[in-house]
Structure 1
């Protein structure tokens, strides 16, 4: 279990002239690239219409909000969901707290809507140019800022420091790869990191890298994702689906939160194993990004497999009978991962079979779903190592080895049950980060006015 410990060693400073020059060049480049940025948003909006709304907010414009809210930035869906237990803990300590919730992606904004209460507002995070961040902070005047995980922006941090606005990096992580990349932009990123009031690191290793990156004060507080409780009604629906299988002995193998390149490789390997008998598992693929749902569906059909899509029976209590005859299912829905984990007998961890750093394995553990993970888990290095040590997940070296191991495990019900129990115990053992982080942030909220 992660324990709170502090790091207060001040890193060497970047000369002021060097930082000003780097930040001027950075801000100028972003201003010149603004038309291209909006063109990118427009193109993404063809698949995700939220990207085409409220563009003025991207420039720090738009409707003002009453001053004194806690500003919390969660870039996308994963960070927004991770913020849920922290927000709950902060509201418990400070009833009536108002939130200014910002995001950068459509999935983040859509997920964040569910967290809003009366008096809260939701905005896009502005482009990191001096003018946009100045207008944003002037329009909203938050009492403090909380940035989730990795979001440190040079112009934003400089303007916050000028306004004496304390900013905390919560659930902070910094992979070795990102740390090396950051060193190449040290003149720009080191001063931005140094302006943080506090970083609440997931692990001791993250804390050490954050210090080296310029953060002056770090507290090791654990990972908020352990505190996320899966929706039991959604998970139970998945178990009900599993119980309703026409072929009760046919297992379900899940590729969870898959990334680019993984689905095609999986389908090729699956095709090579085709025709292995009546007990061949149902393959369920849930892509990480919703804009890729149609792309993955096309990959499945091109590989010659029959396909059933979750979106075709949304709102039904059980999948239609014809869906069970399909060789591959596509989980093309949002906020239903507990359902898929409840349905699956075994899962493969997406993002770990290509050099992409892996995905969050904690939700699978909390749902009691046995897990096989590939060699690439550097974005969740400690969680992956702890899960492997606890017997909650098994490491394999390749996708082919994963499928061979999956075949053996799916034929061994006692081994699957044991790993499922180890997964639940592992997830429970590491909870508590939300309370520790709320304790650290709470002093900043003393001046926050109440909305209710």
Structure 2
């Protein structure tokens, strides 16, 4: 067996193993994910799209013009995708745009933010027959994936149909880099197929090259998150008025726990109670990362003596004294940041799954931002903020309490907020670079397709003659 034949055999074996193991994994984990979907709500709507079943109207729409398919896994990626798509629509007037997401919250954000000419769908489960059905409906000319969302059958199907795949705002945490490297036999051939990788930092770019991406396909563009924040737009919700209606005076100073995870809310609540002894004007607002946890979070906070009010119940209950507003809605965090005096980022402390949450929105608003030691998913952003003294990293909740106590009596943290906003301003411009590279990739693909069509026509003419 020659070298090429051995390589083909190896690739075929890898695909066979993956497609034997993934259905088992899917069946085992499905009850858990289905339960999470039910808790988040709206899970029934368009559920069939996850298995490649689309209504007639969508199928007819997909036949009209060439399609650019962009995938954004959840709310964070969707917020990056929407301004990117609006710019791409200007550059590619002859294309239609379909955007896929995995979560119902991501779908809600797409439905609110996409232009009427675009379509939002759920991403197909990575089973070969499901993916094949989705590709038959949409027949994409180009695919873009936001950040890190790699599913082998989807990539293999795109390669089989000669559809170029681009990765935008690409990042690699230490954990992901080790994981992809460990399974290099599966992922290296996949990564080598990427037409374009727009990396956030030079470190990310080097990691993608090390994992098998072609050197010429990798570009360092910066982070789209800096461009996605528009603090100049008017707020959608006046949270100041909402708090006034709740009986919270405008003079109260707001401590915000943003995108918190399991265990963080209770610890933050205990800190709040101790800080309030010396700062009675303090008021707590908590926004859990997953709103379906709010009932559980409310019980936890009640157990330490904090009286909570749910955001969705504000209009149903009379105004009465409470200690904390617990936000059980999505898409309103930017407006809540406007009201906060100090912001603590969730998913960054030891009891959480780690990785952190995006600190750019509060930074853009000039808010003092505090986070724990586990911000690996936002490594480049954190480094930029810390090096400019635009944020404060603490090692644990004990240190957080000490720092917050100082912050409430010091102007130095206002300077920290101003420094943070300047970091955001300096790092803008990634959207323009990314759109330029994507446009070149699509144009090159169209030229190749045209040349191939012309060549096939010439070959056919020669055969007839």
The answer as to whether partners of 1:80 and 1:112 remain within 8 angstroms in 2 is yes
**Cα deviations across residues 298-353 of structure 1 (Å, max 9, x unaligned)?**
211122211122222269xxx9752xx32222122211112211111001111111
Partner of 2:224: 224
Question: SS of 1:234's equivalent?
Answer: coil
Question: SS of 1:177's equivalent?
Answer: helix
User: How do 1:283-362 and structure 2 match up within 5 A?
Assistant: 283-313=284-314, 321-322=319-320, 325-354=321-350, 356-362=354-360
Of 422, 426, 429 in structure 1, the residue corresponding to residue 423 of structure 2 is 426
User: How do 1:126-205 and structure 2 match up within 5 A?
Assistant: 126-205=124-203
Q: 1:264 to 1:19 in 2, by over 3 A?
A: farther
Q: 1:320 to 1:227 in 2, by over 3 A?
A: farther
Tell which deviates more after alignment, 159-168 or 104-113.
Answer: 104-113
1:416 has 2:413 as partner: yes
Task: Tell me the C-alpha RMSD between the 2 structures.
Answer: 2.6
The answer as to whether partners of 2:82 and 2:114 remain within 8 angstroms in 1 is no
Deviation (angstroms), 1:288: 0.9
**Cα deviations across residues 130-158 of structure 1 (Å, max 9, x unaligned)?**
22211111111011000010011111111
**Cα deviations across residues 210-239 of structure 1 (Å, max 9, x unaligned)?**
111221121010111100133532288346
Partner of 1:381: 379
The answer as to whether partners of 2:367 and 2:414 remain within 8 angstroms in 1 is no
Q: 1:379 to 1:33 in 2, by over 3 A?
A: closer
The answer as to whether partners of 1:253 and 1:345 remain within 8 angstroms in 2 is yes
Question: SS of 1:100's equivalent?
Answer: strand
Question: SS of 1:260's equivalent?
Answer: coil
How far apart, CA to CA, are the structure 2 residues paired with 1:199 and 1:278? 49
* Higher radius of gyration, 1 or 2: 2
Q: 1:420 to 1:275 in 2, by over 3 A?
A: closer
Tell which deviates more after alignment, 438-447 or 281-290.
Answer: 438-447
Partner of 1:80: 78
Deviation (angstroms), 1:45: 3.5
Deviation (angstroms), 1:186: 1.3
Tell which deviates more after alignment, 428-437 or 328-337.
Answer: 328-337
Tell which deviates more after alignment, 78-87 or 39-48.
Answer: 39-48
Deviation (angstroms), 1:31: 2.6
Partner of 2:104: 106
The answer as to whether partners of 2:148 and 2:171 remain within 8 angstroms in 1 is yes
Partner of 1:404: 402
Question: SS of 1:417's equivalent?
Answer: helix
Deviation (angstroms), 1:30: 2.2
The answer as to whether partners of 2:200 and 2:223 remain within 8 angstroms in 1 is yes
| TM-score, normalised relative to structure 2 | 0.85
Structure with the bigger RCO (C-alpha within 8 Å, sep 6+) is: 1
| TM-score, normalised relative to structure 1 | 0.87
**Cα deviations across residues 77-102 of structure 1 (Å, max 9, x unaligned)?**
11000112211221232346421111
**Cα deviations across residues 43-89 of structure 1 (Å, max 9, x unaligned)?**
23432333333333222232322251110000001100011221122
The answer as to whether partners of 2:355 and 2:375 remain within 8 angstroms in 1 is yes
How far apart, CA to CA, are the structure 2 residues paired with 1:88 and 1:112? 12
Deviation (angstroms), 1:248: 5.3
Question: SS of 2:35's equivalent?
Answer: helix
Partner of 1:53: 45
Q: Any gaps of 5 or more consecutive residues in structure 1?
A: 1-13
Q: Any gaps of 5 or more consecutive residues in structure 2?
A: 1-5, 448-465
Question: SS of 1:91's equivalent?
Answer: helix
Deviation (angstroms), 1:361: 0.7
The answer as to whether partners of 2:309 and 2:326 remain within 8 angstroms in 1 is yes
Partner of 1:22: 14
Aligned residues: 428
Tell which deviates more after alignment, 158-167 or 239-248.
Answer: 239-248
Question: SS of 1:347's equivalent?
Answer: strand
How far apart, CA to CA, are the structure 2 residues paired with 1:236 and 1:389? 33
Of 205, 208, 211 in structure 2, the residue corresponding to residue 207 of structure 1 is 205
How far apart, CA to CA, are the structure 2 residues paired with 1:28 and 1:235? 48
How far apart, CA to CA, are the structure 2 residues paired with 1:235 and 1:320? 23
